[in-house]
Structures are given as C-alpha cells and as structure tokens.
C-alpha cells in the first residue's frame, strides 16, 4: 500500500489503494445527531471524514457501496440510512480573507448548487444572479428527490485570518442580517421545511460559530465529547497497524513509534480520554519525507496561525482585569501585564503545565487570556489533561509543536 499525503477524497483512496485507517464505526454514533459540528486542528483528517460520510450517504453511490466500503466496519454493519440522501457539500477551505468574502462564498455556493441540481434534479439551471440564501431557497423549491444531507467543510477558514485585523468587516458578515449568517439561517429554515434532514459542519474552532448562534442554534458540538475523541487522528494501535500495512518490520515499527510519538503524538480533545492521538497528516508527511524537513513545511502554516494569534492577542484583556469589562478591541495590556502573559506562555515552553479550564463559548467582544489558551487548544498548540486532583491543565503536545511555539512565540509580543 502507499501513502496519500494530502488526499482527502475517500473514493480515490479506496480505488487507488492508498492506506486507509478505518474510522467508519463512528458513522453509527454520528447518526444520533441530526445537526452537528466537529472542530479539529489542521491536517487531522476532517475533510477525509466528510468525504467518507458523503460517499456513504449519497443515494447516487448505492451501486458502489460494496466496493467502496469493503473491509470496513460500516461495510459489514451498515445503518438503515446508508445511500439514502442527496448530498449538498459546501467546501469553504479555499476561501481566504484576501478574497471578497461575499463573492467567494457566493461562487462556492453557486458551483455546489449547480452540481447538486445536475446530480439530483435533471440539470435544472441555477441562476448565478441569485444570492447564496436565494440559491438555497431555489433548491428547496425545485428539488423533488430524497431528503438532503448538508456538509460544510472548513466553515471558518476565511474568518481565522481576519480576526483582529479587519474585525469590523468580519462582524459585518456574521452579524444578524450579515451575509454568512443569512446563509446559515436559510439552512436552518430548510430543516423546518423537511428538505434538509442532516447537517454536519467542520472547522478549526467554534469561534465564528458562536457568533452565528442566534442564526443557527440547532447544531450540537461533538468536538470534546469523549466518544468522538478518536474520530480523526490515529491511536497508537492504529498507527502501528498502518506501519505494518506499509511493509515495515516489527523492529522498524518499534523504532518508528518511538520517533513518531515524540513528533506527532500527544493530542487529546476530551480531558477524560484514556490515550492521546497522532496528527495523521503530520505522521504521513514524516513517513514520506525522512529528511527531517517536514517540521519546516508544517511550520509554514504555523506562521499564518501565529499572525492570526497576534491579532487575537491584541483583543485579550489584561490578566489583572480579566473580570472587568472592556470598552474596545484596542490592545489593552500594559507592559507589566504583557510581561505576565509572556511568563505564562514561557512556563509552557519550559515543560510546566498551566492549570486552566477550556472555554466552550467565545465572544469576540469580550476576549480573555483563557479564551486565547482555549483557541490554542482548538488549533492544536495546547492539549488538556488532568492533574493529580482531576482538574484541567494544558501542556504542549509534542516536539514539533514545541519547536513551532519557540519559533513563533515572539510574534505575539512583537
């Protein structure tokens, strides 16, 4: 078998015989939730998960079920809902803040809406002059087939680069009546009409989703539930099995596990999870590139992350006044307070955990240092565990992340 670095198309992985770690047992668990959201750091396999689900539920893929899901858990234990939906799959991963966001969202929605009508409604033409919510309305009007399963992959990609730098524009898009919120409100309306039966959303963090709450308050966040801790990423046993499938000997597997555990392991997304996970994308890149340059490649995305975090850091309230209201988004920490924040992060870099619970809800108008640490968790730079008293504490997951933090940590205070 071969490694498909960066390939997130489930059908291609199966047909071209790339290595696949079977996560299909989670399909059963996901069916307990009609409308759900799931957040994980970069390269953890979110897009592959969405592709797997789309292939499983697509009514047009019924004849391919046996070939696609042979030798998987769900192939042997299919649910009653398999191949019973029309798939509306919005992929926002390519949208960046450098684009005109309304135009970019409009184009992505138009392309997917036309693909949907071509696949399920005899190629009825979508009017490109309609707004995104109007295009969704158009689908509700003309679609006569099976109910719709909506997938939204990387819903927050564009927003993660905008926070702090052009905050007013971001708030304009996600506020009541804003372009993005109207899109989500229309999807919610589709569930009431009975046209949309299921929705599954992925992203890096719930930061933007929380600002959309009043427009889309029907989803359940599954990200930190222990039963979904291992839905993406690899466990130790899955990693060993993958290495054996790649033709590694038992001795090679032992040596590789020691090295890869230091570089790619250490992630936990539920504080009570019994074991930590490997970042699957980082793992495969290390296996493909044995020269050690993977850390450099991985850090390219980290630079973008930390430029974003620098802007977010400007929103953080001073440590000495975390319970006081703030009146603006301007940097509010004076030099002593910034020094206090710097020491907290430096403590992490020196191998000492910080005791801090993670936030489940973010508000851009009231952003604290605890929010910053929680966002670092969602982005994969910190991971939670329990101290000796069962209280939450945060640590750095592995040597690659430590290296990146040391490299880019000064950016936060520049």
* DSSP letters spanning 353-367: -B--PPPS---TTS-
Number of domains in the chain: 3
Domain assignment present for residue 294? The answer is no
Domain range for 85 is: 10-228
**Is residue 269 a part of any domain in this protein?**
yes
Beta-carbon-side half-sphere exposure of residue 253 (alpha carbons within 13 Å):
15
Q: Which two three-digit tokens encode residue 370?
A: 């605890």
Among 228, 246, 271, where does a domain finish?
Answer: 228
Range of lowest pLDDT (60-64, 65-69, 78-82, 292-296):
292-296
* pLDDT at residue 376 tops 80: yes
Residues 154, 282, single domain; the answer is no
Q: Is residue 271 part of a domain?
A: yes
* Tokens 């234990």, located at residue: 77
Residues 196 and 322 in one domain: no
Cα 49 to Cα 308: distance, rounded to the nearest angstrom: 26
Question: In this structure, are 38 and 72 located in the same domain?
Answer: yes
CA 338 to CA 217: how far, in whole Å? Answer: 36
Computed on alpha carbons and rounded to an integer, the radius of gyration of the chain in Å comes to 22
For position 266, what pLDDT does the model report?
A: 96
What pLDDT does 99 receive?
Answer: 56
| 90: enclosing H helix or E strand | strand 86-91
- Residue 54 placed within a domain: yes
The verdict on residue 1 lying in a domain is no
User: Does the CA dihedral 303-308-311-313 come out positive or negative?
Assistant: negative
- Average the pLDDT over 360-387 and give the result: 82
| Residue 404: inside a domain | yes
Q: What confidence score (pLDDT) does residue 208 get?
A: 78
Query: 184, 213, 228: which is the final residue of a domain?
Result: 228
What pLDDT does 178 receive? 65
Rounded Cα distance between 8 and 396, Å, is: 27
Say what the pLDDT of residue 93 is: 83
Same domain, 271 and 391: no
Give the E-state strand segments of 363-405 in sequence order. Answer: 383-386, 392-395
CATH of the domain at 198: 3.40.50
Say if 3 falls within a structural domain: no
Mind giving me the DSSP string for 126-164? P-TTS-HHHHHHHHHHH--SSPEEEEEESTTHHHHTTTT
Q: Are residues 30 and 163 in the same domain?
A: yes
Q: Are residues 177 and 68 in the same domain?
A: yes
Q: Comparing C-alpha atoms, which of 378, 377, 403 is closest to residue 297? A: 403
Q: Is 293 inside a domain boundary?
A: no
Write the pLDDT tens digit of every residue in 303-329: 666 666 676 666 665 544 433 333 333
Looking at residue 355, its pLDDT comes to 86
Q: Of residues 187 and 308, which shows the higher confidence score?
A: 187
Residues 198, 260 share a domain? no
**Residue 72 DSSP one-character state:** S
Q: Which position has the higher pLDDT, 12 or 4?
A: 12
Determine the average pLDDT of the residues in 121-125. 94
197 within 8 A of 34, measured Cβ to Cβ = yes
Cα distance between residue 399 and residue 397, in whole Å: 7
Could you tell me how far CA 324 lies from the centroid of its own chain? Answer: 32
Residues 80 and 216 in one domain: yes
CA distance 181 to 362: 17
* pLDDT of 330 higher than 50: no
With a cut of 50, say whether residue 292 has pLDDT above it. no
């Amino acid at each position: 078998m071969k490694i498909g670095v960066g390939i997130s198309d489930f059908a291609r992985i199966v047909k071209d015989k790339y290595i696949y770690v079977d996560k299909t047992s989670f399909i059963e668990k996901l069916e307990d939730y009609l409308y759900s959201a799931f957040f994980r750091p970069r390269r953890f396999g979110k897009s592959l998960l969405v592709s797997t689900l789309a292939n499983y539920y697509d009514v047009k893929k019924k004849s391919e079920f046996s070939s696609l899901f042979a030798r998987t858990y769900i192939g042997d234990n299919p649910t009653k809902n398999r191949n019973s939906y029309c798939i509306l799959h919005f992929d926002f991963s390519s949208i960046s803040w450098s684009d005109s966001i309304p135009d970019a969202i409009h184009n992505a929605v138009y392309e997917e809406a036309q693909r949907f009508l071509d696949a399920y409604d005899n190629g009825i033409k979508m009017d490109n002059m309609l707004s995104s919510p109007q295009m969704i309305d158009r689908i509700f009007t003309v679609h006569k087939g099976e109910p719709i399963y909506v997938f939204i992959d990387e819903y927050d990609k564009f927003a993660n680069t905008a926070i702090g730098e052009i905050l007013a524009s971001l708030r304009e898009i996600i506020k009541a009546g804003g372009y993005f919120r109207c899109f989500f409100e229309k999807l919610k309306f589709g569930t009431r009409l009975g046209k949309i039966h299921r929705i599954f959303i992925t992203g890096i963090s719930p930061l933007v989703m929380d600002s959309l709450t009043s427009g889309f308050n029907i989803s359940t966040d599954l990200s930190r539930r222990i039963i979904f801790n291992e839905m993406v990423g690899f466990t130790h046993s899955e990693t060993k099995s993958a290495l054996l499938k790649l033709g590694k000997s038992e001795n090679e597997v032992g040596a590789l596990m020691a090295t890869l555990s230091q570089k790619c392991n250490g992630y936990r997304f539920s504080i009570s999870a019994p074991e930590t996970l490997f970042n699957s994308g980082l793992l495969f890149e290390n296996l493909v590139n044995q020269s050690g340059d993977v850390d450099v490649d991985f850090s390219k995305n980290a630079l973008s992350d930390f430029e974003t975090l620098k802007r977010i850091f400007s929103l953080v309230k001073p440590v000495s006044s975390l319970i006081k209201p703030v009146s603006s988004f301007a940097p509010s920490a004076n030099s002593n307070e910034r020094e206090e924040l710097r020491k907290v992060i430096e403590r992490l870099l020196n191998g000492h955990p910080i005791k801090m619970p993670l936030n489940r809800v973010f508000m851009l108008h009231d952003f604290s240092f605890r929010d910053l640490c929680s966002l670092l968790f969602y982005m994969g730079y910190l991971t939670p565990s329990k101290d000796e008293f069962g209280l939450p504490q945060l640590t750095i997951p592995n040597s690659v992340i430590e290296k990146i933090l040391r490299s880019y940590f000064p950016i936060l205070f520049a």
